[in-house]
Structure 1
Amino acid sequence: MADHVADVVILGGGSGGYAAALRAAELGKSVVLIEKDKLGGTCLHRGCVPTKALLHSGEVADSARHAETVGVRATFDGVDIDAVRAYRETIVAKKFKGLQGLVAARGITVVSGSGSLTADRAVQVGDDLYRGDDVILATGSYSRTLPGLEVGGRILTSEQALELGEIPKHVAILGGGVIGVEFASVWRSFGSDVTIVEALDHLVPTEDIALSKALERAFRKRGIISRLGVRFAGAVQTEDAVTISLEDGTELHADYLLVAVGRGPVTDSLGLEDAGVALDRGFVVVDAELRTAAPGVWAVGDIVPGLQLAHRSFQQGIAVAERIAGLTPPVVPDTQVPRVTYSSPEVASVGLTEAAARAAHGDAVVTHEYNLAGNARSEILGTAGIVKVVRLADGPIIGVHLAGDRVGELITEGQLAVGWEAHPEDIAPFVHAHPTQSEALGEAFLALAGKPLHSL
């Protein structure tokens, strides 16, 4: 067995792993990055990037379909799914090539293969052992399913849905979270009839209730059916269809069933517990600074309990690399990580929902909602939606929640407000350019500062 030594050995080359590698190398560390598939991981190749490319294709299809409403004569002749795939693959290939170039330029050693953790801060890949002063676990997540529901054929996860070579006439989606509503949005834009089944009472159920209701209204207007508060009972597929049974006795018939019930941590068969890493329901147990129970072993990204988001993984990877180098980056709680659902309309948020804020602070919570109907830029874009800001009475902003097309581009301002514990009175004097959707945030801040302009 060949023995290789580096300052930092990273198991997993997805968002958290490659961010840690780039930052550690920048700080003068020798780095070995082990990846069994491709650099960039799920986010780049099977998740964030390709799905957003699909959603943009859907947005263009909707724009072409409704062009006459803005005075443009356009002919809409449907969606060429092969051309959509080529567009998506081109985007991914460009980003992949760029990432490979960045990693090579930093002098990072990339090892292709499946690794497992061994004792004394080492990762075994085949007959080779890669030993580091520190090891970072960044193995990511996989698509979950439900007991008794076997994926295959016409029962898909998001990975298979991305590669689907046809536009279904009717598709059913099990799960009304981020992945489910994003695929519902794109398939509807492509012309499919879509039914979402969600066991909880609302779509995107972890979001503020105002955003869930706004999305549900918009989806009803688009013709997307949502079966809420009803549980899945079973599914039977034939060569050309799937029949889905619900616990209320209803049966749904679809060309395909997308299973979008969340993602689980990739931690099985990696030797983690034998090497002293503690697990809880498959997730790696870490302290506030992302150290595991095994000395010199860290964990980042989707295997760490909490939000499963690529940008959270980036941030954690960077922070661990800096701690290894002796720096002291701040701990960023999940409440300060922005969340975006890229459906049409989009949903974006940061901080506490009103319900969570009231559970923590009681009657000290004050909120304001501003309807995008009063925003000129939103009217031009043809989008409905809301801005909702949550603050403590005479205190800081603790939550910002947005629904509407393109509002994901606004959430960074909300993140700054929440992260810096800004008071609405601090922000109210700042000017938002006109006409922009950012003015809607400004209006909410003005209202909470006691001087509303375009709202009551």
Structure 2
Amino acid sequence: MADYDYDLFVIGAGSGGVRASRVSAAYGARVAVAEEYRVGGTCVIRGCVPKKLLIYGAHFAEDLKDARRFGWDVPECGFDWPMLRDNVLGEVDRLNGLYQQTLENNKVEIFNERATVTGPHEVRLASGRTVTAKHILIATGARPQIPDCPGNDLGITSNEVFHLETLPKRVLIAGAGYIANEFAGIFNEFGSKVTLINRSDQILRGYDESIRDRLLQISIAKGIEFRFNASFEGIEQTETGLKVSMSNHEPVEVDCVIFATGRAPNTEGLGLEAVGVELDVIGAVKVDADNRSSIDSIFAVGDVTNRVQLTPVAIREGQAFADTIFGNKPHQVDYETIPAAVFSHPPMAGVGLTEGQAKNKFGAVKVYTSDFRPMKNVLANRNERALYKMVCDANTGKVLGLHMIGPDAPEILQAAAVAVKAGLTKADFDQTVALHPSMAEELVLMK
């Protein structure tokens, strides 16, 4: 490998790129990574981590109200958006430093600038320097898509939400996926009037229908307004806010418009097509099971491949790449039975096949449910019901999917996902003694 400046050059220092860089360097490879923004990527800097901290902050709105029913003398509480925002950004700064330190400790050279691919083994840095590498890894992630409509420059994306100067009193969110529903819940709890619009008549397409319908019912009861079959027609600045026009509905005036209409792979301007790397119709890098592109020396992991856009998946892909190329331990990522969550209010979580997917694949299925009001909600006079759902093969009893909505659903599902991944059956769940009183016990009591 002495003919090259590096054994591995990574473009993008997000979750997948950092893992691939660190592990490859630990195997003895000479590694460099280029990152034009900040080390840590979408998840750490402008995604899951800061968003989850906002979700924790938002949940206090309900917790403080509920505490009164549990005997606590809680006065009327005001909310200080700048304090939460700045504390969250401070935590992001801390994590950014830790990620940078991790790379440095593993002797990974960091270039804080944009890099483009100029050959199968060649990368050009924004500073003008050209370097060579035996292997190049593309880990540039994805970015929010912005609808093509007049006035779209007046809206923001999830990237900018964390930097809002003031808390908007009226918020319109475009989209109905997990990002849209999570921010709808956050701003609603903070006291904003939230309107969510979507061009179809469904939210959270791809999630189990019963669970997403329950979230829709609860969200409406909380005061979130949904406008379906509504496509953006334009945004206009007025003296009192932003006027948003849409199809099939009257215009609405708000203080802030947030686009949550999907994410596009970050491949523009990277020079990939010029060197022969195949991209799909949305610009994602086409790769095989070993993360290799159409050029043998160029690989890709994470959201830029548009396989499963989840941080833990990107990390596993980065690990598999490093183990295979530099660790003499070849293996591939298993994309079956990946758990996922929506940190809405209340949160959803699921693993495996939905009821519809299972019927399409297996024909005969048995569905077991538990529709209950959590004990805390009962005493708090909070009329929200949780729903747990188990989808099983009708012939073998094997659990094909497990889906839930309710307090702490993601925390409960993570352990249950191990059982689903292991191929356990409904009988295995039934034979497990319930842990009482808990919400999790409903997993072994479903009928």
Q: TM over 0.5: same fold?
A: yes
Equivalent residues in 2 for 1:151-166 (5 A)?
151-153=152-154, 155-166=155-166
Shift of residue 102, structure 1, vs aligned partner? 1.8
Q: Report the CA distance shift for 1:424/1:329 in structure 2 as closer, same or farther (over 3 A).
A: farther
Residue 6 (structure 2) aligns with: 6
Q: Secondary structure at the match of 2:76?
A: coil
AA at the equivalent of 1:418: V
Residue 98 (structure 2) aligns with: 98
CA distance in structure 1 between the partners assigned to 2:121 and 2:271 by the alignment: 12
Equivalent residues in 2 for 1:54-453 (5 A)?
54-125=54-125, 126-153=127-154, 155-238=155-238, 240-281=240-281, 282-325=283-326, 326-333=328-335, 335-362=336-363, 364-373=364-373, 376=375, 384-393=385-394, 394-444=396-446, 447=447
CA contact (8 A) 2:9 2:33 kept: yes
AA at the equivalent of 1:443: L
Shift of residue 97, structure 1, vs aligned partner? 2.2
Residue 454 (structure 1) aligns with: none
**Could you tell me the percent identity over the aligned residues?**
29
CA distance in structure 2 between the partners assigned to 1:77 and 1:222 by the alignment: 19
Shift of residue 297, structure 1, vs aligned partner? 1.3
Q: Report the CA distance shift for 1:121/1:428 in structure 2 as closer, same or farther (over 3 A).
A: farther
Shift of residue 62, structure 1, vs aligned partner? 2.7
AA at the equivalent of 2:351: V
CA contact (8 A) 2:150 2:233 kept: no
CA contact (8 A) 1:242 1:254 kept: yes
AA at the equivalent of 2:135: D
CA distance in structure 2 between the partners assigned to 1:406 and 1:433 by the alignment: 15
CA distance in structure 1 between the partners assigned to 2:56 and 2:91 by the alignment: 12
CA distance in structure 2 between the partners assigned to 1:372 and 1:99 by the alignment: 42
CA distance in structure 2 between the partners assigned to 1:415 and 1:159 by the alignment: 30
CA contact (8 A) 1:377 1:436 kept: no
Shift of residue 21, structure 1, vs aligned partner? 1.3
CA distance in structure 2 between the partners assigned to 1:193 and 1:210 by the alignment: 26
CA distance in structure 1 between the partners assigned to 2:26 and 2:444 by the alignment: 38
CA distance in structure 2 between the partners assigned to 1:188 and 1:227 by the alignment: 16
Shift of residue 395, structure 1, vs aligned partner? 4.2
CA contact (8 A) 1:203 1:228 kept: no
Shift of residue 210, structure 1, vs aligned partner? 0.8
CA distance in structure 1 between the partners assigned to 2:387 and 2:131 by the alignment: 51
Shift of residue 289, structure 1, vs aligned partner? 2.2
AA at the equivalent of 1:340: A
CA contact (8 A) 2:429 2:443 kept: no
AA at the equivalent of 1:439: E
Q: Report the CA distance shift for 1:218/1:249 in structure 2 as closer, same or farther (over 3 A).
A: closer
Q: Secondary structure at the match of 2:273?
A: coil
CA distance in structure 1 between the partners assigned to 2:277 and 2:172 by the alignment: 39
CA contact (8 A) 1:4 1:129 kept: no
Q: Secondary structure at the match of 1:56?
A: helix
Shift of residue 268, structure 1, vs aligned partner? 0.7
CA contact (8 A) 1:173 1:184 kept: yes
CA contact (8 A) 1:385 1:402 kept: yes
Residue 15 (structure 1) aligns with: 15
CA distance in structure 2 between the partners assigned to 1:311 and 1:406 by the alignment: 19
CA contact (8 A) 1:52 1:342 kept: yes
Using the TM superposition, name which of 426-435 and 314-323 deviates more.
Answer: 426-435
CA distance in structure 2 between the partners assigned to 1:233 and 1:280 by the alignment: 28
Q: TM-score, with normalisation over the residues of structure 1? A: 0.91
Using the TM superposition, name which of 103-112 and 435-444 deviates more.
Answer: 435-444
CA contact (8 A) 2:122 2:133 kept: yes
Shift of residue 418, structure 1, vs aligned partner? 3.0
Q: Which runs of 5+ in 2 are unaligned?
A: none
AA at the equivalent of 2:294: A
Shift of residue 147, structure 1, vs aligned partner? 1.6
Q: Report the CA distance shift for 1:259/1:146 in structure 2 as closer, same or farther (over 3 A).
A: same
AA at the equivalent of 2:175: G
Q: Which runs of 5+ in 1 are unaligned?
A: 448-456
Q: TM-score, with normalisation over the residues of structure 2? A: 0.92
CA distance in structure 2 between the partners assigned to 1:376 and 1:67 by the alignment: 14
Shift of residue 44, structure 1, vs aligned partner? 1.1
Shift of residue 135, structure 1, vs aligned partner? 1.4
Shift of residue 414, structure 1, vs aligned partner? 3.5
Alignment RMSD, CA only?
Answer: 2.0
CA contact (8 A) 2:144 2:157 kept: yes
CA contact (8 A) 1:18 1:40 kept: yes
Shift of residue 432, structure 1, vs aligned partner? 4.9
Residue 27 (structure 1) aligns with: 27
AA at the equivalent of 1:392: D
